[in-house]
């Protein structure tokens, strides 16, 4: 009986560690941008018509960068999985990071978490809006936009 209890305690500890890494609180209290310089998107609020999007940045070698997406139903941020793989990378000697994500229509709240080898953890939030209509959709529309505006 004691052995089964010990196994349950160990499993609970392991599960809580994994769960804490895969989900972030909506208000983490440790937000900053002193570890990574985000190159794309260029601003904290961005708009695109590309469903497949690359977040890129520069950081120090050894920094682990994780990308989380917001779930409006639960109010939390969850680790993104892209093509079956977790959106987690460790920066190499160059410090360059590029992570592909898939955007949903409308506003996409994204949190970028950095874990430095010295133990520093920072979070950076960006909002990327995916436009539902692209320029080609408007050009191919049967409605004459010039008449609709006039």
Q: Domain of 11: which CATH number?
A: 2.60.40.10
Cβ distance 59 to 36 under 8 Å?
Answer: yes
Q: Which residue is it, tokens 């994994």?
A: 18
Write down the pLDDT at residue 19. 42
Domain count, the chain: 1
Mean pLDDT, the chain, integer: 77
Confidence of residue 26 (pLDDT cuts 50, 70, 90): very low
150 belongs to a structural domain: no
Tell me: pLDDT of 90 over 90: yes
Write down the pLDDT at residue 45. 84
108 belongs to a structural domain: yes
User: Can you give the residue range of the structural domain that contains 106?
Assistant: 2-133
139 belongs to a structural domain: no
138 belongs to a structural domain: no
Asked if residue 113 has a cis previous peptide bond (ω within 30° of 0), the answer is no
In the chain, what are the helix, strand and coil shares in percent, each to the nearest 5? Answer: 20, 45, 35
147 belongs to a structural domain: no
92 belongs to a structural domain: yes
pLDDT per position as a tens digit, 93-105: 999 999 999 999 9
148 belongs to a structural domain: no
């Amino acid at each position: 009986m004691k052995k089964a209890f010990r196994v349950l305690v160990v499993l609970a500890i392991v599960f809580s560690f994994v769960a804490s890494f895969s989900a972030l609180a909506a208000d983490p209290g440790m937000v900053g941008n002193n570890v990574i310089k985000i190159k794309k998107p260029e601003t904290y609020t961005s708009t695109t018509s590309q469903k497949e999007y690359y977040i890129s940045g520069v950081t120090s070698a050894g920094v682990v960068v994780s990308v989380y997406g917001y779930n409006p139903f639960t109010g939390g941020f969850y680790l993104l999985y892209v093509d079956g793989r977790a959106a987690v990378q460790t920066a190499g000697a160059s410090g360059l990071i590029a992570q592909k994500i898939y955007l949903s229509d409308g506003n996409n709240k994204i949190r970028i978490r950095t874990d430095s080898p010295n133990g520093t953890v920072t979070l950076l939030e960006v909002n990327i809006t995916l436009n539902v209509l692209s320029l080609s959709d408007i050009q191919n529309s049967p409605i004459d936009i010039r008449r609709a505006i006039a």
